[in-house]
Each structure stands twice: as structure tokens, then as C-alpha cells.
């Protein structure tokens, strides 16, 4: 039996609205259960956790809990290069898995990023990988021995999953979903499940378990819905994780935490076997799966592994897709890049503008490869309103029942997500009419886009860098690409917010729209010091391969 | 002013249920208007029409209305070879268009296949094509000067369209839909619009204007919904026409009339700009556009023209698709062909079985190229029930209102189509649940299919050859591929029904299902003499190119 003590957690990660007594009891049990799975040897000193500075990124290295080798394993590689080390016998999967297990639970104590942890099972799988390699001389597959982190709602055999409510948390998934099963066959090791917000529909990450904090400034959100992954990967407790995105849930948190995140076009990465839960949005709007990781090469490698497995032969609703991107034939012609300083709806906060200007300056010097073209997407405000009205065609009754069933308080961002949702379900006439509006919007969006003759679009990821807790109201910079189902990839820049930046024209920003003026207020009220700033590259629907090729070219220029 | 006489029409094509007095009046006006557009010189002798034999295919040649050259133009070519003749200056578009105009209206008098006719406009466009070629030495495009026939519901600028009800007939479409506009830019000439059934949802072709008759046996249906095209093309009043298919509407009529018809996977041929009307099925089930024509090469050529135009750049919901099929590298490996003698739900009528056995015998002789594998698709009965329950998510209220608004009688096959439809619309919960059932069905279907390791499937097109009028109740052999969204192409065989064929085991056929026993009854009651029999080749979703390649190989064997 375990004792009553539970693992130290940053108090801000526990700062959540209260539910009924039975909800609080259940929450306490879940936290205790997780804590009991984590060996005492991985616990930080309680004082270190409770007195942590806003920026917690240095604590892991200073904690003394990781060996030098473990620090090297977790910091020196991206997914493909780490797999290569293991396949070449330079590292064992047991050592690699141990290092990421240790680092993940330290990351969790600082940011509240995990909801489940299973070191024993992971080490057993890692040992088998090592033995297989030793005995056969062959790797298990292209992900041989690599620990991969998994967002809570994705079914992973033998582990609980939830659709964002305590009442939907099932004891144990009976089977892997298709995505997990492909990764497992490719040799991946599973060791953690990560936090996601209530209803899995915030651009932050506050679940019934934890609030996930931004490791660069814990007064800021890690972003969401795939926020647990983002904080974990930013702290190198993982170098490859799985996200889903229907409004920005891969790209938002990746941008907030300064990592790489890719939302492909829908039906490329399989969501087959993932529960829809109360989220019946896929009637009109497609959810997309994709990787969150520490390099462009990691994204490329992940996509190749998934698509080489030909998931469309298991689920014929998936697209037939090849992933030949190898960066070898990257972009022989000059790229026409649409440059979005603002989307005409909300002026981004100053650090985002600074990152855009930084990129423009560098790209302008590479005129042989890049032509920047000022571009504003078509009617972002209308598109977003339509999108939000389609997230819950079933109305809010079932969602609020799921909350009530668990005695769970409705978080303010859930209320915000439901702002265009009525109580009753839409009927088929209403859905058909909205689908027609959607089609109409998409055709007009493309008509406007076609005038610019662009290959890709360079744009903000969000209205600012990471936001203060409970203020991620505006999804426009990511969600416009969900309504279009266009692929988008966010990538880090060297820009960090100081918090002291000024708008070059605050009045103009305020006048753009009510929402834009509120974003100015949020900037003036918040503490953004240290927040990373990412940018986003977008391409037409199904130009996913070209997008990654183009990003390779752009990244080459920006990092030179 | 025109006189009161109207063009002779086979009386069976006018044998339709009666509506209100105002409906009958409007119907008479529409028939008269069409008649007035057709020059007297194109009219058959009234006695020839009213005394026509069951098989009307010989009448056109014997009518004396076509010159020998016009007979050659309309009979000797398929779409690509006829275009070639014009591009090489061996034929003019004016001559070609004149020939097809003349032949189309004769076909109409025998089968009731047209709803609109615009010779003058067509000849004007044809003259422009000829002049352009003469002046520039260059063709207008890959369809230079070729007359193409168009199903009524497709918007063609300046001409009426309807969604299958008299009350939805609009005076004139303001714009071409995307498909038409691509064809027009490629040099096509438009000269007729063709008949479609009430609600565009029968597997026969009885509209508010005409009942389209099968040219090989007018006691049989031409099939539907794209039945006007099928009868017209079978009589060579067109060699390339446009269809749509959500349950068999391209493949059924093509099979009934012995021509080639291809239903691709959805979102490949653009339906952008086509009205949905009361048919809100696309909430869950995709409609598909495709060609109906006289050769496999015609299908291939059409697909190449459409996809070379990159319609996905106009409507980003369309798939990015290449059509490199040139039959050059056709199938280097041995094809594994699933052979469907019956689908486990309904045993086909004897001539269909005979066609399958004929094909099997020939294919078995080509064991170096083909391996036939007995195959029965997964649970066709369940799939079809689910499909029918998803055709009208909005319920039948709007449809019956459209009938009532026009005083139009509800045809018996419309009632049959609505058999799984309730009055009230489904709500979003019900749709989400049905979508989940659909996904579940599809995954199980694929799981079962995967066990056979097949490249393509050779199967019946319908429960029999063309059916007696008002008896096309069973769509299972086409619609199962709609629920899966798999591509299917029907192609003619030399088999013709004599009407005297017997079931090899009638008792077994009756015992298979209630529906199967009814199909036996229909066989025993009907007169099927002369009906052509087609077969269908099917491939996995998005294996459209491979399907056409495989059909090229199979066709090579079957026709040698």
C-alpha cells in the first residue's frame, strides 16, 4: 500500500475551479493513483517545486535526478537521430526509455502535463526491443525503441482514456486505436498519457486533473487542447508526441511552448478507433491527427512511418497518400509566400509582429528563393463564426450532462467554446443549410486566394505568444485553416517575448474589431516575459508534402 | 408561332401517372416547347413511331433522315477518335454536331430520352470551333468541337434545369457548373439535356416529361437516374454524356442500355455548383459525377480532360488527382480478381449469371494475367438498409412538398426510394449515430475484403438485365459501392437476354432472401428479350486509376 503523500506538483497546476464533493474526491484519488505510479526516486524536492520561478526550464538540469548521459539522451537528438543511435547499437532502448520516463515525471511536477505514467510496461517493451535487435540484428521497425507520448483521449490498450470529462474516463481501453497500433508495430514504446482540457475543446489545457503550465512562464498557459504534449516536449520529457486539431489543438500549444507541430489535411493521419464522445463536430468539420516534436525532420519521419503503413487499407475512408518528402528535391523554383501581418480580424500582439518582421527581413535577403507577397485571408471573422456554430451540431445538452454526471464544474473556456451553440441539436435541414454555407465560404476563400498565386502562406499561430491562463478566446489564426481543411505547420523562432514590447499602432489594432481591442487589453494586462514565439506555414488542402518541402527551404534561410 | 402538332413520341414514353389539371397543362406545354425546338425535317413518320417494334435500334438507320456520312460520323467513332478527326481537319464540328443533333432527336422520338434541345446554339459554337481551328491551326482544347450530352439537373448557362420535380424547374441557369465550364473550355459543344426521373432517385427514368424506354426492348426501362443519357448514347445520339451516381445512377442505366459508365470515387469529378435541391443526402453519403460513353478509351479521355484542368484549384474540397492512365504500363503483375456470382443477398437473374460465366471461362484461359477468386461482399443487406436510411436525412416533408407544389403525382418508385425515410428530419444526434454505424460498417467491410487480397472485383451491375418498367426496387449491386465510396465501371458484354433463360437453381435463389425471391418472380413475369447484359469492375476507394488499368487488361482478354 502506498502512503498518503503525493508527488509534488507546481501549485498553479492545481489551481482549478472546484466541483461537487464527490468530484473532488474522485479527482484526489486520480491524482493519488498517478502519484503512486511514479517511483519516489523521481520526485523533486517539494520546496523546489513550490518555490519554482516562472521559467522552470532550468530546473530539470539542476535537479540532480538525471545523469549526464540521461541529459544527453533527452536533449541531443530528435526522433530520427535518436532511433538511428538505437538501431546502430550506440544506445539501448532501455536507457533511452528510462531517461525519458525520468524526465517526463520531472516535467510533470513543474507543469502538470501528465495524466498517466507506466514506466514498468515501457521498460518491458524497451527490453524486448533491445533483445530483438541483439538476437536478429534487425530493428523492430522505423521507430525501434523510441518512447512516444500520447494525448489522453487516444485509446492505448490497457490504459484509461477520457473525452475530456471525468465522467467519460473509462477504466482501460480494450484496444489500440489504428494510429497507436501502427506506431507500436513500428517499434515505438509508450510510457505516458498527457493532459488535455475539459471537453478537449480549449486552446488551453485545464482538465479534471491538472492545469498544464507553460514551462517558459508558468503564469501563461501551455496552450491546448494538446497542451500536455506541448509542455512535456518543450521540457524534453518527450521528443515525439501525438496530437489532434480541430481548431488549433496541435498548432496552438506547439506555438505556446516553442516546439514543432503539424496539422495535416484531414484523413491523412488516421483517427480510426478514436472515440468521438460528445464531440460530434465531424458531421461537418474534420478533426486531424498529427505529430508534435522537436524538429522538422521529426515531423517528416513521423509522416513517412504512418503513411508507409498504408492505413487506408484498414480504413478506406482515409486518403491514399505517399510521403516521399526527403528534402532532396526541395523546391527547385522560387516560392511565392503569402505574408500575413494580420488577418484583418485581430492584430497580433507585438512579439508576434516582431517575429514576422524578423522573418521578413531574412527572407527578403533570399530573393532568389523566396518572393514575399502581402496577403490577408478572406473574411476570417465570418469563417470563424461559421466554424464555431458547427462544432456542436448536437447542441450543448450532452456536453453539460457529461459535466453533471461527474459533478464537474464547467470551466470558463468551455462556456466560451459553446458561445455559438444552442441547447437543442440542429436538425438535418439546418445542417444541410450550414454545409451549404460552408461550401460557399470555402469557394469564396479559394477564389480570393487564387488571385495571389501563392505556394504557401506565412502567418501568425495565435493572436499573441502564449496567453495568460483562461484567456485563449480567439482561435482565428489556427481555426481558419480548419474550416478550410488546409495543412499548417508551426515552427519555433528565436524570438522570445520580454513582455515590454509595444504595439506600433495600438489605436489601429483596437479599431480593427471588438476582438482585436480585447486582445490589446489582454496584452496590456498580462505578463508575457519569456514566452517563445512560433510562426505558421500553411498550404492549400492536400499540398501537405509541398508545405513541408517549402518549410524546409524557409527554415534553411531563417536558421542560416 | 408554332402549330399545334407535336413531334411523334413512342406512346410508352408518355405512359405516366397523371397529376392535377394544372400539372398536366404545364407538362403539355413543356412537351410542346421541346417539340417546337426540333425542326420538322428531323421528325419521324408518326406511324413508324407508334408502330415501332420492341427493339427500336434499327429504325434510325432505316429512317432515311440521316445521310450515309452522318451515320458514319455517329457510329464509327468514340470520343477521342472523333475529336482526332476534327483536330486533323478530316471532319468539321458543324458536320459532327449536325449529325448528333439529328440522331439525338430521332433517338428521342423512339425512347423519350431528351428534355431540352438547342441545335442553333450548338451549331453556332461548332462554327466557332471550326473557324478557330482554321484561323489558328490549333484546336480549342482536348474536346475540340465534340458534342456532349448533359443530364437535366446540371446547370448549363442559359438553359432550364430541375432537381427532378416540375416545381423545381428553373427557367434558365445563370451559370455553368464547374464540370460544364471545364468541358466548355476544353472545346465541347452542348446540344441537348437528357431525362432523369422524379426526385432523381429512381434506378429508372420517369420524369414529369417522359418515361425513357430501353432501345433494345421498349417494355424495359432504360435505367436511371441517368437514363436519358443511357438511351441516347445506346442509340448513338451522343457518344459522351455526363451522369451522377449516389446509388447506381450512372452504372445502372449504362448497364441497362449496354454502354460504358464509370462512377469514380467521390470528390474527383467536380459537382461544384450543382444544386442539391431536396436531396440533402450528401450529409453522410457522397454523390459522384462521371462519364457515360461508348468505349473505355472514352472514359479514360474524359477523366484526363477533367483532371488536367485541376478542378481542385477552384474548389479545395475536391481531391488532388492525376489521371496518368494511358494503358501503356498496364498491370505488369497478375491481377487477383474477386469474382461475385451473387452478393449473398439477391441471386441475379439468369442472363447476368450467364454473362459472369462467359467472362469466367475466358478469364480462366488467361491464367498468366488473371487469377479469379470467389468473393462475396460483406453484409450487403445491412449496408443497403443503412444507405437507404441516409438518403433523406431531412425526411420526406420537403420532397413531398415539391411534388405538391407542382401538382405532380408521386410515382411508385419514389415511394419505394423513401421506404427507410420518416417524415421528420433526423437530428444531429441521430446523424452522428448513423455516421458511426456507417464508419463501423465500412471498417468491417474492408476487414472482410482484406482477407481475399484482391486487386479488383468483377460483379453484376444489377439483379438482372434491364428491368420491366416500375420494378427497379433493388439497387444492391451498385449501391453497396456507394456506401463504400469505391469506384465502379460497367462495361458491355456480347451477352443479350433471350428471355427464355432459366435459373440453374430457382429454389436456392428464392430462399436466399425475400428480395431474392421477388427478383425470381420479376424474371418469371417480365419480357427481357434483347436486353444487353453488362458487368461491373470495382476497386478500393481511390484506386480509380488502377481500376481503369485493370479493366483495360480484362477487356483485352474478353474481346480477344
Inter-CA distances, A291 with A161, A230, A489, B79, Å: 19, 11, 10, 47
Q: What is the mean pLDDT of residues B252-273?
A: 97
**Cell 496552438 belongs to residue:** A252
Is A312 close to B542, i.e. CB distance below 8 A? yes
Of the listed ranges A415-419, B32-36, B41-45, the one predicted with least confidence: A415-419
Is B446 close to A395, i.e. CB distance below 8 A? no
Q: B47: exposed, middle or buried (C-beta count within 10 Å: 0-12, 13-18, 19+)?
A: exposed
Residue A273 marked ligand-binding: no
pLDDT in tens, A234-243: 999 999 999 9
Residue B50 marked ligand-binding: no
Confidence at residue A3, expressed as pLDDT on a 0 to 100 scale: 73
Mutate one of A310, A428, A480 to test the B interface: name it (highest B CB count within 10 A): A428
Residue B252: closest CA among B484, B521, B465:
B465
Rounded CA separation B67/A65 (Å): 95
Contacts of A541 in chain B (CB under 8 A): 312, 316-317
Smallest CA–CA distance, residue A285 to chain B, in Å, is 11
Ramachandran angles phi, psi of A365, nearest 5°: -80, -10
B332 has pLDDT over 70: no
A326 has pLDDT over 90: no
Q: Which candidate in A93, A207, A238, A249 is catalytic?
A: A249
Cis bond leading into A225, ω under 30°? yes
Rounded CA separation B48/B28 (Å): 22
Rounded CA separation A248/A225 (Å): 8
Residue A335: closest CA among A170, A128, A550:
A550
Inter-CA distances, B506 with B260, B500, B517, B521, Å: 30, 14, 9, 10
B475 has pLDDT over 60: yes
Cell digits for A167? 465522467
Contacts of B540 in chain A (CB under 8 A): 313, 316
Residue A253: closest CA among A215, A302, A178, A203:
A203
Chain B residue nearest residue A541, CA to CA: B316
Q: What is the largest CA-CA distance in chain B?
A: 69
Q: Say if CB B556 and CB B511 are below 8 A apart.
A: no
Chain A residue nearest residue B398, CA to CA: A429
Rounded CA separation B546/B325 (Å): 8
Helix ranges (H only) for A142-264 are: 178-185, 227-234, 251-256
Could you tell me which residues come within 8 angstroms of residue A88 by beta carbon, excluding any fewer than 6 positions away? Answer: none
Q: Which candidate in B93, B102, B151, B238 is catalytic?
A: B151
- Is residue A510 flagged as an active site residue? no
Q: What is the mean pLDDT of residues A503-520?
A: 97
Mutate one of A311, A316, A546 to test the B interface: name it (highest B CB count within 10 A): A316
Q: What is the mean pLDDT of residues B378-402?
A: 93
Q: Which helix (H) or strand (E) holds A488?
A: strand A488-496
pLDDT in tens, A327-377: 655 556 899 999 999 999 999 999 999 999 999 999 999 999 999 999 999
Q: Say if CB A439 and CB A409 are below 8 A apart.
A: no
Smallest CA–CA distance, residue B452 to chain A, in Å, is 13
* Nearest neighbour of A317 by CB, restricted to B280, B314, B439: B439
Rounded CA separation B322/A537 (Å): 25
pLDDT band at B1 (very low <50, low <70, confident <90, very high): very low
- Is residue B151 flagged as an active site residue? yes
Q: Which candidate in B63, B93, B225, B284 is catalytic?
A: B225
Smallest CA–CA distance, residue A321 to chain B, in Å, is 10
Inter-chain Cβ pairs, chain A and chain B, closer than 8 A: 114
A291 beta partners: A242
Per DSSP bridges, beta strands A147-151 and A240-245 are parallel
Rounded CA separation B181/B187 (Å): 10
Question: Do the domains A11-275+282-313 and A335-558 sit in the same CATH topology, yes or no?
Answer: yes
B329 has pLDDT over 60: no
Does 3.40.1370.10 match the CATH number of domain A335-558? Answer: no
Rounded CA separation A125/A184 (Å): 10
Q: For the sheet with B370-374, list strands across it.
A: B114-117, B189-194, B147-151, B240-245, B288-293, B260-263, B488-496, B532-538, B456-459, B335-339, B370-374
Write out the E strands in A343-465.
Answer: 370-374, 456-459
Please give the mean pLDDT across all residues of chain B: 95
Q: Which candidate in A12, A102, A151, A263 is catalytic?
A: A151
Is A394 close to B485, i.e. CB distance below 8 A? no
Q: What is the mean pLDDT of residues B533-547?
A: 97
Q: B451: exposed, middle or buried (C-beta count within 10 Å: 0-12, 13-18, 19+)?
A: exposed
Contacts of A540 in chain B (CB under 8 A): 313, 316
Is A435 close to B312, i.e. CB distance below 8 A? no
Q: B86: exposed, middle or buried (C-beta count within 10 Å: 0-12, 13-18, 19+)?
A: buried
Rounded CA separation B50/B41 (Å): 18
Confidence at residue B325, expressed as pLDDT on a 0 to 100 scale: 72
3-state SS class at A542: coil
Q: Say if CB A278 and CB A398 are below 8 A apart.
A: yes
Residue B246 marked ligand-binding: yes
A211 has pLDDT over 90: yes
**Cell 473532488 belongs to residue:** A24
**Cell 509595444 belongs to residue:** A502
* Nearest neighbour of B540 by CB, restricted to A316, A443, A542: A316
Is A542 close to B319, i.e. CB distance below 8 A? yes
pLDDT in tens, A238-277: 999 999 999 999 999 999 999 999 999 999 999 999 986 5
* Residue environment code for B151-176, b if the CB has 16+ CB neighbours within 10 A, otherwise e: bbbbbbeebbbbbbbbbbbeeebeeb
Residue B248 marked ligand-binding: yes
Is B442 close to A317, i.e. CB distance below 8 A? yes
- Is residue A225 flagged as an active site residue? yes
Smallest CA–CA distance, residue B332 to chain A, in Å, is 21
Query: What is the percent of chain A with per-residue pLDDT over 70, rounded to a whole number?
Result: 97
Is B316 close to A541, i.e. CB distance below 8 A? yes
Whether complex ipTM tops 0.85: yes
pLDDT band at A1 (very low <50, low <70, confident <90, very high): very low
A96 has pLDDT over 90: yes
Per DSSP bridges, beta strands A260-263 and A114-117 are unpaired
Q: What is the mean pLDDT of residues A395-399?
A: 91
Can you say whether the dihedral through the CA atoms of A249, A255, A259, A261 is positive or negative? positive
Q: What is the mean pLDDT of residues A527-539?
A: 98
Contacts of A272 in chain B (CB under 8 A): 443
Domain residue limits, chain B: 1-560
Taking an 8 Å Cβ-Cβ cutoff, which residues of chain A contact chain B?
272, 276, 280, 282-283, 312-317, 319-320, 393-395, 398, 424-429, 431-432, 435-436, 439, 442-443, 446-447, 450, 484-486, 540-543
**Cell 436519358 belongs to residue:** B228
Q: What is the mean pLDDT of residues A139-162?
A: 98
Residue B264: closest CA among B552, B491, B541, B476:
B541
CATH dotted code for B1-560: 3.90.1300.10
Smallest CA–CA distance, residue B551 to chain A, in Å, is 21
Is B393 close to A543, i.e. CB distance below 8 A? no
Chain B residue nearest residue A316, CA to CA: B541
Chain B residue nearest residue A178, CA to CA: B443
Is B442 close to A312, i.e. CB distance below 8 A? no
Does 3.90.1300.10 match the CATH number of domain A11-275+282-313? Answer: yes
Smallest CA–CA distance, residue B407 to chain A, in Å, is 24
Rounded CA separation B167/B336 (Å): 49
Chain B residue nearest residue A266, CA to CA: B317
Rg (chain B; Cα; Å): 22
Q: Say if CB A246 and CB A285 are below 8 A apart.
A: yes
Confidence at residue B277, expressed as pLDDT on a 0 to 100 scale: 57
Chain A residue nearest residue B438, CA to CA: A317
Could you tell me which residues come within 8 angstroms of residue A90 by beta carbon, excluding any fewer than 6 positions away? Answer: none
Ramachandran angles phi, psi of A468, nearest 5°: -60, 155
Taking an 8 Å Cβ-Cβ cutoff, which residues of chain B contact chain A?
272, 276, 280, 282-283, 312-317, 319-320, 393-395, 398, 424-429, 431-432, 435-436, 439, 442-443, 446-447, 450, 484-486, 540-543
Write out the E strands in B6-130.
Answer: 114-117
Cell digits for A184? 507500436
pLDDT in tens, B344-363: 999 999 999 999 999 999 99
Q: How many CB atoms lie within 10 A of CB B76?
A: 11
Q: What is the mean pLDDT of residues B366-394?
A: 95
Residue B225 marked ligand-binding: yes
B27 has pLDDT over 80: yes
Ramachandran angles phi, psi of B183, nearest 5°: -65, -40
Is B435 close to A282, i.e. CB distance below 8 A? yes
Residue A89 marked ligand-binding: no
Amino acid at each position: 500500500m502506498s502512503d498518503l503523500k503525493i508527488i509534488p506538483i507546481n501549485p498553479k497546476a492545481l489551481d482549478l475551479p472546484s466541483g461537487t464533493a464527490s468530484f473532488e474526491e474522485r479527482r484526489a484519488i486520480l491524482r493519488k493513483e498517478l502519484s503512486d505510479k511514479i517511483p519516489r526516486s523521481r520526485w523533486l524536492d517539494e520546496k523546489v517545486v513550490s518555490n519554482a520561478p516562472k521559467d522552470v526550464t532550468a530546473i530539470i538540469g539542476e535537479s540532480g535526478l538525471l545523469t549526464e548521459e540521461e541529459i544527453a539522451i533527452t536533449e541531443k537528438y530528435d526522433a530520427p537521430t535518436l532511433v538511428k543511435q538505437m538501431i546502430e547499437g550506440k544506445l539501448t532502448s532501455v536507457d533511452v526509455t528510462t531517461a525519458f520516463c525520468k524526465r517526463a515525471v520531472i516535467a510533470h511536477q513543474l507543469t502538470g502535463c501528465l495524466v498517466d505514467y507506466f514506466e514498468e510496461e515501457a521498460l518491458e517493451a524497451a527490453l524486448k526491443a533491445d533483445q530483438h535487435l541483439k538476437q536478429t540484428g534487425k530493428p523492430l521497425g522505423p521507430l525501434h525503441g523510441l518512447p512516444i507520448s500520447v494525448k489522453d483521449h487516444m485509446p492505448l490498450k490497457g490504459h484509461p482514456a477520457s473525452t475530456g470529462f471525468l465522467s467519460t474516463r473509462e477504466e482501460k481501453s480494450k484496444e489500440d486505436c489504428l494510429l497507436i497500433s501502427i506506431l507500436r508495430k513500428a517499434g515505438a514504446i509508450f510510457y505516458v498519457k498527457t493532459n488535455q482540457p475539459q471537453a478537449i475543446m480549449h486552446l488551453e489545457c485545464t482538465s479534471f486533473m491538472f492545469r498544464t503550465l507553460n514551462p517558459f512562464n508558468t503564469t501563461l498557459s501551455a496552450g491546448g487542447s494538446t497542451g500536455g504534449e506541448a509542455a512535456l516536449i518543450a521540457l524534453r520529457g518527450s521528443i515525439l508526441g501525438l496530437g489532434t486539431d480541430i481548431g488549433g489543438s496541435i498548432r496552438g500549444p506547439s506555438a505556446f511552448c516553442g516546439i514543432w507541430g503539424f496539422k495535416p489535411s484531414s484523413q491523412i493521419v488516421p483517427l480510426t478507433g478514436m472515440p468521438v464522445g460528445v464531440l460530434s463536430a465531424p458531421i461537418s468539420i474534420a478533426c486531424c491527427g498529427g505529430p508534435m516534436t522537436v524538429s522538422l525532420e521529426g515531423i517528416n519521419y513521423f509522416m513517412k512511418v504512418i503513411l508507409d503503413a498504408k492505413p487506408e487499407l484498414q480504413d478506406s475512408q482515409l486518403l491514399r497518400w505517399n510521403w516521399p518528402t526527403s528534402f532532396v528535391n526541395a523546391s527547385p523554383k522560387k516560392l511565392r509566400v503569402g505574408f500575413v501581418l494580420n488577418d484583418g480580424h485581430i492584430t497580433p500582439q507585438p512579439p508576434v509582429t516582431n517575429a514576422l518582421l524578423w522573418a521578413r527581413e531574412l527572407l527578403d535577403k533570399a530573393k532568389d528563393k523566396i518572393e514575399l507577397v502581402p496577403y490577408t485571408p478572406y473574411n476570417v471573422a465570418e469563417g470563424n463564426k461559421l466554424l464555431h456554430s458547427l462544432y456542436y451540431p448536437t447542441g450543448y445538452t450532452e456536453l453539460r450532462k457529461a459535466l453533471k454526471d461527474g459533478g464537474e464544474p464547467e470551466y470558463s473556456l468551455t462556456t466560451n467554446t459553446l458561445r455559438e451553440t444552442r441547447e437543442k441539436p440542429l436538425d438535418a435541414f439546418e445542417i444541410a443549410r450550414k454545409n451549404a454555407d460552408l461550401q460557399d465560404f470555402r469557394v469564396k476563400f479559394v477564389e480570393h486566394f487564387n488571385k495571389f498565386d501563392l505556394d504557401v502562406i506565412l502567418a501568425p499561430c495565435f493572436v499573441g505568444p502564449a496567453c495568460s491562463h483562461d484567456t485563449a478566446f480567439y482561435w482565428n489564426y489556427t481555426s481558419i485553416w480548419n474550416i478550410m481543411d488546409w495543412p499548417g505547420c508551426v515552427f519555433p523562432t528565436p524570438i522570445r517575448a520580454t513582455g515590454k514590447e509595444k504595439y506600433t499602432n495600438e489605436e489601429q489594432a483596437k479599431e480593427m474589431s471588438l476582438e482585436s481591442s480585447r486582445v490589446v487589453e489582454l496584452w496590456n494586462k498580462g505578463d508575457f516575459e519569456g514566452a517563445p514565439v512560433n510562426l505558421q506555414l500553411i498550404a492549400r488542402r492536400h499540398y501537405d508534402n509541398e508545405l513541408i518541402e517549402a518549410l524546409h527551404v524557409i527554415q534553411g534561410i531563417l536558421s542560416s
